[in-house]
Structure 1
Amino acid sequence: MSCHPRSRILLNTPQIELWPADLLRARGSRDARLLARATWVLRRKRDGRYLAAAVPEGLVTLLPGWRRDTRADEALDLLDADAPYASAQPAPLLRIDDLQTRLDALGLDGDAYAARTGLPMVAEPAWLAFAGRDRYRRPLWLTQAAARAWAHMREAARRDGVVLEAVSGYRSHDYQLGIFERKRARGLDLDAILAVNAAPGFSEHHAGTALDISAPDEPAAETSFEATPAFAWLERHAGLHGFGMSYPRDNPHGIVYEPWHWNHRPA
């Protein structure tokens, strides 16, 4: 296994993520012993389960049968690769050919949704850069360009006496599907969910370029954020760092006003 996390990156396949082991929390004593020795951990995207850990002597299974239940070959190939990840070039994009099948299970016609909202289908990057931690101490993943811009913007705000907190960054298709499934299980109908969440496959978070931003002591993802000094600072300065607010009031996509959602669009 020649692929090592020389820099803090997340390697991505349609069903499995490869995490640097030292960024993951142990879920028991066995996990703790393995993570202490591992380079990578294979993590299933749909539920976050740890599948296997790459240690010096080989691959140790953490979830029996995981190779049968997921497309394991792509993740295993990454472990054996010696590709120049985290290069100056943007990451290639993963295919999205099986997304419509999953949208069908939600009763959502992707083509009709795209036509109605004007939102494009968004592919996931094949790798993402570690951009620090969010307010909940979770690793924050973004494209390399967005991670660099976020670091510069947060530091510029700090110099002006403003603290910016990341609430979330990259989210996979599987994660977004889980949001919909959980809300459907609570009895919400599809239209109600779509008013506040982009359909799976159509969120800017999938691209690793979007950030939900808040400020200390401010609740996450609430319109009250617009009354904070942090929001005022973003309105004046975010564009200088390549960030723009995606969903202002009365936006053409039919998404509710989200003063917390900012997307990086490199020049």
Structure 2
Amino acid sequence: MRPAPAFLFNTPAIELWPGGLLRARSNADARALARARHVLRRKRDGRYLAASLPEGLLPLVPRLRREPGIEQALALVYELQRKPRGIPGIGTTLPLDRLHERLDQLGLDEGYATRTGLELEAEPAVLQLAGFDCWRRPLWLSPAAARGWQRLRLAAAVDDVALHAISGYRSHDYQLGIFERKLARGQSVAQILTVNAAPGFSEHHGGDALDIGTPGEPPAEESFETTEAFVWLQGRAADFGFHMSYPRENPHGIVYEPWHWRFHGAADASARPG
């Protein structure tokens, strides 16, 4: 019997992870995470905030009630407890709040969207576990993209082509963290924007895009275009609903990314492995 899919439930500030997927950072965390139905995780820095256990909520930080966004996250915990088999919010997206705040932090204004032609990307309220990436981290995608990725990877394997995921869904807060880390290493905002879209504008936010690699090839490098995996994707990815987002000389100012592919909807119904 195929196991039931696992889901990540999203709020603007806090994620609800299913128990058993997060790595413990202490013995106390390990005991709580092992028994948790869901773990409340702060999106800004990945801090574990609380564990929803069979006997109730276990805070993992002091002053949990003061945590920004906690009331909305707890309301979702209680809703899941009332409807343990339900999937509240599937197919919906989160509000695009705090967008201006994040752009202001990077010295960007509303003209960024006009200059690049990039669209705002809302975060899904629900994401599905689509396997694990090449670092064995959980890979989260929208449910439709998760099914598409699994079909795509199976079809490639039938043709003796190995594909693996490098990364999938990223929150707005995580995207801002990428900029902060690169700025700390001495890069300018202009340099970073040639590789990473501004927070709120990355295709990864929507849960339909993922970076794809193949064993033996460095992740997210232009040399991926010389691999059998890339040749296979060029010929077959569209059959499964995937398209490369950033070809050479794309109008968005993003560097050529042969590894970045996005699921655009239902794949060709005739597409089959082989």
Interval containing the TM-score (normalised by the shorter chain): over 0.9
For 2:68 and 2:223, locate their aligned partners in 1 and report how far apart those are by CA, in whole Å: 41
TM superposition shift of 1:187:
1.8
CA RMSD across the alignment: 1.4
- 1:101 matched residue in structure 2: 101
Q: Distance in 1 between matches of 2:252 and 2:87?
A: 33
State whether residues 10 and 16 of structure 2, in contact with CA within 8 Å, keep that contact through their aligned partners in structure 1: yes
Q: Is the 8 A contact 1:170 1:207 kept in 2?
A: yes
How does the TM-score come out when normalised to structure 1? Answer: 0.94
Q: Who is 1:150 aligned against?
A: 149
Indicate the percent of aligned positions where both proteins have the same amino acid: 61
- Encode CA deviations 1:4-42: one digit per residue, 9 max, x unaligned: xx7400000001000011111111111111112111000
- Partner SS state of residue 51, structure 1: strand
Work out whether residues 7 and 126 of structure 2, in 8 Å CA contact, stay in contact via their aligned partners in 1. Answer: yes
1:236 aligns with 2:217: no
Report if the CA contact (8 A) 2:204-2:210 is conserved.
Answer: yes
Counterpart contact for 1:86–1:129, Cα < 8 Å: no
CA shift at 1:218, angstroms? 0.6
Aligned to 2:257, the other structure's residue is in SS state coil
Query: Partner residue of 1:60?
Result: 58
1:96-245 mapped onto 2 (5 Å cutoff): 96-109=96-109, 111-245=110-244
Structure 1 window deviating more from structure 2 (244-253 vs 34-43): it is 34-43
Q: Write the distance in 2 (CA, Å) between the matches of 1:101 and 1:32.
A: 35
Any gaps of 5 or more consecutive residues in structure 1? Answer: 1-5
The amino acid across from 1:106 in the alignment is: L
- The amino acid that maps onto 1:162 is V
Paired residue for 2:26, among 28, 46, 53?
Answer: 28
Cα shift at 1:102: 1.9
Pairing 1:82-93 to 2, within 5 Å after superposition: 82=80, 85-86=86-87, 91-93=91-93
Whether the aligned pair in 1 keeps the contact of 2:113 and 2:119 (CA below 8 Å) is yes
Maintained 8 Å contact 2:90/2:126: no
Find the aligned partners of 1:120 and 1:66 in 2 and give their Cα distance. 35
In 1, the alpha carbon distance for the partners of 2:46 and 2:86 equals 23
Q: Secondary structure at the residue paired with 1:246?
A: strand
Gaps of 5+ in 2: 267-274
Separation in 2 of the partners of 1:178 and 1:85?
32
Q: Which runs of 4+ in 1 moved over 6 A?
A: none
Matched with 1:3 is none
User: How far does residue 95 in structure 1 lie from its aligned partner after superposition?
Assistant: 0.3
2:138 is aligned with what amino acid? P
Give me the TM-score of the superposition, normalised by structure 2. 0.92
AA aligned opposite 2:177: G
